[in-house]
Amino acid sequence: KSICVVGLGYIGLPTAVMFANHGHQVHGVDINEKAVKMIGNKELHIEEDGLQERLDTAIDNGAFTVGTKPVEADVFIIAVPSPINPDKTAELEYVRQATASVVPFLKKGNLVILESTVPPKTVENVMIPELIQSGLNMGTELFVSHSPERVIPGKVFTELVSNDRIIGGINEQSARVTSELYNSFVEGRMHETDTTTAELVKVMENTYRDVNIAFANELAMIAQNIGVNIWEAIQLANYHPRVNIHTPGPGVGGHCIAVDPWFLVELDPQKSKMIHLARQTNDGMPAYTAQLTADILKAKGIVDPKIAIFGLAFKGNIDDMRESPSVDVVEQFTLRNFNVKAFDPHIKVNNIDQQTQHAEEALKDASALVIVTDHQVFKDLDPMTLTSMKNKIIVDTKNCISREKWQAAGFDVYVLGD
Ligand code: SAJ
């Protein structure tokens, strides 16, 4: 089939390349001219394991072209951002505009798939009114579905193949033709349903995780007060066959888990009390992290300390800083008048004032090193080499470093939730 993928970000690009690697002719579209140019030159504007090789193959064999405008195709896949506004309402303008952009190219028999995560009813209320402008009959001449992406950054290519997919169609035929298409490379099962159910399922999955993490964070703060190591306690509780408590940390980041619960809060504020509270709990963790560190330093009588923050990506081994709690951690230290320098070897451009590209600049004369992201490079750090710090204090918010190794190097080791 010929496929036009609108949006070449963390989801759109890997998906486009996968289809191109599996017998389809794919045209990728993005409004970001620089990204389009880079991808056309086989350069990556995002980091993802396995993407480079797959992109090289797709472009070399002519199965993948890119541009800033859609082209005619059998299938249109929309994978654009669906963020929240500062007032926590869903921003659906990208989805609406991307949908409108393909309308002039639609023909009888085409299929339009939305992959972006959206509040329930978006296909019905935002996409369909645009698609109707094509003059085609919905469900008989134009097939429309929502097949939400469910892959985890860092393991996108494994999960694209192995995960089950939820396929919501505006009618049965729309769902069926969508399943047939993804069958080109998906080995997981296809579960067909209607569009609104698919929208809700996707948002529910991420909300489940957010609420569970908030629960873990609450437990971490309680445990800290009563002198219990929450990491050990959660591990023990999870030996129960029906318990799966997530892990605490400095907050929840990314463009999904920290965002999607708000879609439900917006839909029904009265009924989404726990969901709302979970968001607030998780959003409060950066302040908790800064205060925890401030209290440790105060107890040691260290005045006017400099803080080195390691980790700006929203989670380990990725280069994505969107909604990263690290940014809030930096801000919380700044608010407390601490001198902060943050370093992350995966983030190659400086996105915030306090960022440096040199680990040494962050560490020099620092009184505490705060680990906010569990990158492998941080786990592998040799504490013996960190000789320029003023005080040997490390605060590990992810329980990811070896306590013994750091203690042996003379560090006082503190772990969030312990
Ligand atoms: N985090 C915790 N504790 C945990 C797990 C995660 O504090 O136990 C934090 C992470 O450090 C990170 C944030 O939560 O800051 C989110 O990380 P994540 O790994 O849970 O999820 P994402 O945002 O990378 O990807 C999620 C996934 N959803 C689920 O696992 C239900 C992924 O499958 C979705 O495709 C993705 O959202 C998406 O695009 O919606």
What is the predicted pLDDT for the residue at 105?
Answer: 98
Q: In angstroms, rounded to a whole number, what is the distance separating the alpha carbons of residues 260 and 279?
A: 10
Give 53's pLDDT tier (boundaries 50, 70, 90): very high
- The answer on pLDDT for 241 being more than 90 is yes
Share the mean pLDDT of the chain.
97
Q: What is the mean pLDDT of residues 333-340?
A: 96
Ligand 1 centre distance from Cα of residue 358 (Å): 28
Give 399's pLDDT tier (boundaries 50, 70, 90): very high
Contact (Cβ atoms closer than 8 angstroms) between residue 20 and residue 53: no
Ligand 1 centre distance from Cα of residue 78 (Å): 22
Question: Residue 68 carries which DSSP code?
Answer: S
Enumerate the H helices of 284-347 as residue ranges. 285-299, 325-335
What is the predicted pLDDT for the residue at 38?
Answer: 97
- Of 35-39, 273-277, 316-320, least confident by mean pLDDT is 316-320
Q: What is the mean pLDDT of residues 273-283?
A: 98
Ligand 1 centre distance from Cα of residue 412 (Å): 30
- The answer on pLDDT for 47 being more than 90 is no
What is the predicted pLDDT for the residue at 417?
Answer: 97
Ligand 1 centre distance from Cα of residue 197 (Å): 21
Q: What is the mean pLDDT of residues 347-358?
A: 95
What is the predicted pLDDT for the residue at 253?
Answer: 95
Active-site residue, 202 included: yes
- Give the rounded percent of residues in the chain with a pLDDT score beyond 90: 97
Q: What is the mean pLDDT of residues 378-402?
A: 97
To test the ligand 1 pocket, which listed residue (257, 373, 397) has its Cβ within 8 A of the most ligand atoms?
257
Q: What is the mean pLDDT of residues 145-174?
A: 96
Contact (Cβ atoms closer than 8 angstroms) between residue 306 and residue 365: yes
Which atom belonging to ligand 1 lies closest to the Cα atom of 10? Answer: 39
**Strand-pair category, 393-396 with 368-371:** parallel
Write out the two tokens for 242: 């029906």
- The answer on pLDDT for 46 being more than 90 is no
Which among 34, 37, 42, 202 is annotated as catalytic?
A: 202
Q: Domains along the chain?
A: 2-193 (3.40.50.720), 227-418 (3.40.50.720)
Pocket of ligand 1 (CB under 6 A): 117, 149-153, 205-206, 209, 213, 246-247, 249, 252-254, 256-257, 314-315
3-class state of residue 134 by DSSP: helix
- The answer on pLDDT for 92 being more than 90 is yes
Question: Residue 114 carries which DSSP code?
Answer: E
Active-site residue, 256 included: yes
What is the predicted pLDDT for the residue at 153?
Answer: 86
pLDDT tens profile 108-131: 999 999 999 999 999 999 999 999
Q: What is the mean pLDDT of residues 93-116?
A: 98
Which among 4, 256, 341, 398 is annotated as catalytic?
A: 256
What is the predicted pLDDT for the residue at 154?
Answer: 85
What is the predicted pLDDT for the residue at 245?
Answer: 98
What is the predicted pLDDT for the residue at 367?
Answer: 97
Ligand 1 centre distance from Cα of residue 79 (Å): 18
Which atom belonging to ligand 1 lies closest to the Cα atom of 217? Answer: 7
Q: What residue's CA is closest to ligand 1, atom 14?
A: 252
3-state secondary structure 75-88: EEEECCCCCECCCC
